[in-house]
Structure 1
Amino acid sequence: MNDKTPILQVKNLKQYYYPGTDKEIKAVNDVSFEIYPGETFGLVGESGSGKSTIGRAIVNLYQPTSGEIIFQGKSLSSNYNQKERLKFHKEIQMIFQDPYASLNPRMKVRDIIAEGIDIHQLAKSKEERDEKVNQLLKDVGLNSDHASRYPHEFSGGQRQRIGIARALAVEPKFIVADEPISALDVSIQAQVVNLLQELKESKGLTYLFIAHDLSMVKYVSDRIAIMNRGRILELADAEELYANPIHAYTQSLLSAIPLPDPDYERQRQRIHYQANPEILNKEVLTQVKPNHWVAQ
C-alpha cells in the first residue's frame, strides 16, 4: 500500500434511498477506499452501479446514510461553521457529466467561471477578476474573447472546458470528475482527457475519475476500482488490473472492449457475468496480491 498520507478516505460508505421500506435501494453499500495526493483514482462501473453517488457524497451534495468521508484528516460529517464549509468547498470541486445542463444558460462565460472567485473573495477588483478569468480560459484552451459569450454559443467540448475552468477557478486540491467525457463526441474525448492530464501536472491536482469506459480509464488512472450494484469488486493498480483481472465481473467488462484489430475482433469472446445479489452482499474485499484487492 502507498506509504503517503491519503488526501481522501472513504470508510464503509452507505447511501440508501427509502431506507427501511419495501422500496429501499442500496445505491452504495459499504464502500471503502483511499486516494493519495497527486494520483488519479479511477472508479468504473455500469450505469446504476453507485459510482456517481459516491462522487456526489464526497462533494457534499448527498448526505450519506452511514459511513465516513475524511478529507485531509477531517471528517466531512463534522459540524462545520460557515468559514470551514467555504474552505472545504474551495478545496474540493466537481466537473459534471453533462456540459449542456451544468452551465447556466443565462450567464455569460465570464460570470460562470468567476462565480467561485466572487464567493470566496479571491479577487480584489474587477480588473483582477477579469484577469483571472482570462487566464483560466487560456489554461483550458479557450481565449479571452469567449468570456463575453453565452454557453449556447459553444460546442460540447468547449462547454466542458468552461466547466473545467469553473472548477479550477478557486484553486482546488481535489477534483471529482464525474464522467467528464461520456457526453462528448469520441473525437473530442481525447482532447479533454489530455487537458485534464496537463492540468493535473501543472497544478498538482488529485482526481477521482468516474467513468464507465474502461478503455479510456486505463490511460488516465494510477489505480482503478471496479463497482457493481453499489459495491467495489476489485481494486488494483491500472496496469495490474488490465493484465491480471481476477473478479469475473472485471473479466466480463474487459472482454467487451473492442480493439481496432480485425483479426482480434474475429476471435474475441465475450465473458458473460451474472450477478447473484445474495453472494455479492456477502463478498469481502480481500488483498490477494500487493496493491490488488478482490471481493470474494
Structure 2
Amino acid sequence: MAEKEKLLEVKNLKQYFNIGKSNEVKAVNDISFDIYKGETFGLVGESGCGKSTTGRTIIRLYNATGGSVLYRGQDVHEKKTKSELKDLHQKMQMIYQDPYASLNPRMKVNDIIAEGIDIHELVKSKKERKDKVQELLETVGLNRDHANRYPHEFSGGQRQRIGIARALAVNPEFIIADEPISALDVSIQAQVVNLLKKLQREKDLTYLFIAHDLSMVKYISDRIGVMYQGKLVEVATSDDLYLNPMHPYTQSLLSAIPLPDPSYERTRRRISYDPTSHGYEEGEEVYMREVAPNHYVNCSEKEYKQYQSNYNPK
C-alpha cells in the first residue's frame, strides 16, 4: 500500500490574543495534526473553541504566536517574498462562513470570481476571462447569465456557490472551508456539502472542513479532530470517532445529535462535559496519546490505560 502524501503539517500551533493590558486569550493552544493529500480533515467543536482561528492562522490571515504550519514542507509563517506569498495563496484558498458578508455587494459576480484570476494573471484576454468565469459558474451549479448580477440578487445557497467558484478560480489544491454551511437553511446544507464532495473527486482537492455539526462533518470527513477551549482532545477516522468516542467531551457532542427515530429520541440521554472531572494532579502529564491505531486522545497515563481497555474495535 502506497504511503499517503502529507500535504499540511500543523506543529504545536499557538494563537494568543491580548484583550486589554493583562488579559491573554489562548484561542489556539499548542495543537498538532496532519492533513494528507486528497482527504477531508474535519475540525469540530462548540463556538469559541478556536477552530475558525486555527483555519485562519493556517492560511496566514493571522500570524501565529508560536509553532509552525508546513505546507508541502515549507513553513507558511516564515518571512516570504511577495512572489512566494502569491504562490502560496494560489495553492491555498478559503471558503467563508457568511455568504452575505464575504462577497463585495458593489461588484458583479463576474468580477468577484475573476478577482483571483486577475491577481495571479491566469488568463491572457478578456474573452478567456469571461469563458473561465462562466465555466466556474456552471461547475458550481449556477447559470452563465448569473455573471452579470450582483450578490443581493441571490439566495444564501447561491451566494455560497459563488464563494466556492471564487475559491476554485485560481486552481488551488487545498481549501479551508470555514463553517461553509452554518448560515444556510438545512434544506440547502446537504446540496452544498454534496457539491464540495463532487468537486473534491473531480479536481483532486484536499479540505480542512470546519464546523460544529458533527453529523455533517462525519458525512464529508475522512478523519475528524475535536477541539475544546483551544486544544485538540481527540483525533480519529470519522467512523472510529463515532463508534469509539473516548474523550468525555467528544461523547458529550455525540450525545447531542438528534436522530429521526422517535423511540431513540425518547430515551436519548445528553452527556454533560465537566472539564474538572478528569481529576488531574499537579504536574501530571496530559498530551495526545495513540489509544488505538490512528486514534489519538488528549489524556493522562492513567486515562490512557483506561481508554485502551475500553476500546472496542468494530
Alignment deviations for residues 39-77 of structure 1 (CA, whole Å, 9 cap, x no partner): 000000000000000100111100010000000110112
Which residue is equivalent to 1:287? 290
Which residue is equivalent to 1:33? 33
SS of the residue aligned with 1:129?
Answer: helix
Determine the C-alpha separation between the residues in 1 that align with 2:289 and 2:83. 40
| Alignment RMSD | 1.7
Report matched runs for 1:1-296 at 5 Å: 3-18=3-18, 22-276=22-276, 283-296=286-299
The code of the aligned residue for 1:50 comes to: G
> Identity over aligned residues, as a percent?
64
Determine the C-alpha separation between the residues in 1 that align with 2:188 and 2:19. 41
SS of the residue aligned with 1:24?
Answer: strand
The code of the aligned residue for 2:298 comes to: A
Task: Please list every run of 5 or more consecutive structure 1 residues that lacks an aligned counterpart in the other structure.
Answer: none
The code of the aligned residue for 2:293 comes to: P
TM-score by length of 1: 0.97
Determine the C-alpha separation between the residues in 2 that align with 1:85 and 1:144. 32
Which structure is larger by alpha-carbon Rg, 1 or 2? 2
CA shift at 1:3, angstroms? 3.4
Determine the C-alpha separation between the residues in 2 that align with 1:122 and 1:279. 55
SS of the residue aligned with 2:289?
Answer: strand
The code of the aligned residue for 1:232 comes to: L
Which residue is equivalent to 2:311? none
More deviation, 192-201/74-83: 74-83
CA shift at 1:243, angstroms? 0.4
Alignment deviations for residues 20-42 of structure 1 (CA, whole Å, 9 cap, x no partner): 95311000000000000000000
- Contact preservation (8 Å) 2:92, 2:174: yes
Compared with structure 1, are the counterparts of its residues 139 and 28 closer, same or farther at alpha carbon in structure 2 (3 Å cutoff)?
A: same
Alignment deviations for residues 123-176 of structure 1 (CA, whole Å, 9 cap, x no partner): 100000000000000000001100000000000000000000000000000000
More deviation, 280-289/79-88: 280-289
The code of the aligned residue for 1:235 comes to: V
CA shift at 1:83, angstroms? 1.2
Determine the C-alpha separation between the residues in 1 that align with 2:193 and 2:162. 14
The code of the aligned residue for 1:80 comes to: K
Q: Which runs of 4+ in 1 moved over 4 A?
A: 277-282
The code of the aligned residue for 1:122 comes to: L
Determine the C-alpha separation between the residues in 2 that align with 1:247 and 1:234. 7
The code of the aligned residue for 1:286 comes to: R
Paired residue total: 295
The code of the aligned residue for 2:14 comes to: K
SS of the residue aligned with 2:41?
Answer: strand
Determine the C-alpha separation between the residues in 2 that align with 1:270 and 1:3. 40
Task: Please list every run of 5 or more consecutive structure 2 residues that lacks an aligned counterpart in the other structure.
Answer: 300-314
Determine the C-alpha separation between the residues in 1 that align with 2:256 and 2:74. 40
CA shift at 1:19, angstroms? 8.2
Determine the C-alpha separation between the residues in 1 that align with 2:279 and 2:149. 53
The code of the aligned residue for 2:288 comes to: L
TM-score by length of 2: 0.91
Compared with structure 1, are the counterparts of its residues 279 and 102 closer, same or farther at alpha carbon in structure 2 (3 Å cutoff)?
A: farther
More deviation, 30-39/16-25: 16-25
Alignment deviations for residues 80-121 of structure 1 (CA, whole Å, 9 cap, x no partner): 111111100000000000000000000000000000000000
